[in-house]
Structure 1
Amino acid sequence: MSEEFEIRNKVAENTSLVNFDLSSLMPKGKKIGIDLKNFLYEGLILREKDYREKIENINPEDYRDAYVYIYCSEDVIIPLWAYFLIAAKLTDTTKKVVFGNLEDLNVLLMHNAIKTYDYSELKDKRVLVKGCSDVDMPNNAYIELVEQLKPMVKSLMFGEACSNVPIFKN
């Protein structure tokens, strides 16, 4: 094939643009919710003796290397020590245990990932944060990413190379 008919991606070849996929920072692994309503007496009351027995019957291996979020789907008062007990049972085998729902867990995981990521490869670069992802990202992750990138990148854009939204230029 002659060079005059060769198909080339001139955008990719002639740009100093660095594509950054925020979803790549989301930690991989199983996410398991524990609903404390299953630990309540008649679905309404947390009785310490019954609760401790149910906690004792939890097999920590069922949660090995998982991200666990603890919540209660019933509108009842749960004393804080109840969360301590279940966390103490699981922290040796899980990657992380949090209070809240799946969204709360994802916000915390992304917060930790964004804060600990090494952005040195992006210093003084034009960065395009990928707009579409198969992973449902917490909105706050984008805000935290801007906080990390603004002092170090030349410019920041959001979207796709063919249709991006400029965020800022240094």
Structure 2
Amino acid sequence: MSEEFEIKNKVANSGLVNFDITDLYPKGKRLGIDIKDFLWEGMILKEKDFREKIANIDAEVYRDAYVYIYCSEDVIIPLWAYFLITSKVTDPAKKVVFGNREDLEVLLMHNAIQTYDFSELRDKRVLVKGCSDESIPNNAYVELVEQLKPLVKSLMFGEACSNVPIFKN
């Protein structure tokens, strides 16, 4: 085939580095513990009953899981109750947080971004992939820009064929 009719992959030859934030997404099961399930009539924390119910938790259920502790009822929960639940499941779990599932995801992605070594992207033209199969919290993209801006030559968002320029250094 002559060079005149040769098909060239301009994206591959552009020096653009594709970065998929889902590569940072921590894999593993997510499990919630609703404190309401440990309350008398779902409304009142009776210490003796509460302690018995916590003692009966099968902590192995939470092995290697990301756990979030929350209360789906609008009741007053003493702070020590969170301590007690956390102490029961923290050893087998990968991570335990207070809050809902979204709070857990924000924290996990924050930790992943803060500990990732972005040095391989220094002075590169970086395209952050726009679509993913995982539900990535918006805050993760904000933190990603904070990490990349001082390092990269340029930053774009989307797909190679239709991206949004974010900045150029």
TM-score > 0.5, shorter chain as reference: yes
**Residue aligning to 1:43:** 42
SS at match of 1:68: strand
Inter-partner Cα distance in structure 1 for 2:2 and 2:77: 71
TM-score by length of 1: 0.95
**Residue aligning to 1:9:** 9
SS at match of 1:77: coil
Inter-partner Cα distance in structure 2 for 1:7 and 1:166: 26
Asked if 1:151 corresponds to 2:150, the answer is: yes
**Residue aligning to 1:98:** 97
Asked if 1:34 corresponds to 2:12, the answer is: no
Inter-partner Cα distance in structure 1 for 2:113 and 2:63: 24
**Residue aligning to 1:127:** 126
SS at match of 1:132: coil
SS at match of 2:31: strand
Deviation of 1:10 after TM superposition, in Å, equals 2.6
TM-score by length of 2: 0.96
Inter-partner Cα distance in structure 2 for 1:135 and 1:3: 44
Inter-partner Cα distance in structure 1 for 2:7 and 2:58: 58
Structure 2 spans left out of the alignment, 5+ residues: none
1:51 and 1:120, CA in 2 relative to 1: closer, same or farther beyond 3 A? same
Inter-partner Cα distance in structure 1 for 2:128 and 2:53: 45
SS at match of 2:82: helix
**Residues paired across the two proteins, number:** 168
1:138-158 CA-to-partner distances (Å, cap 9, x unmatched) read: 000000001101111001111
Inter-partner Cα distance in structure 2 for 1:11 and 1:58: 54
Inter-partner Cα distance in structure 2 for 1:154 and 1:25: 22
Inter-partner Cα distance in structure 2 for 1:51 and 1:83: 11
Q: Structure 1 stretches (4+) deviating beyond 2 angstroms?
A: 2-10
Deviation of 1:59 after TM superposition, in Å, equals 1.1
Deviation of 1:24 after TM superposition, in Å, equals 1.1
1:136 and 1:3, CA in 2 relative to 1: closer, same or farther beyond 3 A? farther
Inter-partner Cα distance in structure 2 for 1:134 and 1:9: 26
SS at match of 1:65: coil
Deviation of 1:47 after TM superposition, in Å, equals 0.8
SS at match of 1:115: helix
1:77-115 CA-to-partner distances (Å, cap 9, x unmatched) read: 111110000000111110000000110000000000000
Deviation of 1:7 after TM superposition, in Å, equals 4.8
Inter-partner Cα distance in structure 2 for 1:73 and 1:37: 6
**Residue aligning to 2:22:** 23
Deviation of 1:48 after TM superposition, in Å, equals 0.7
SS at match of 2:72: coil
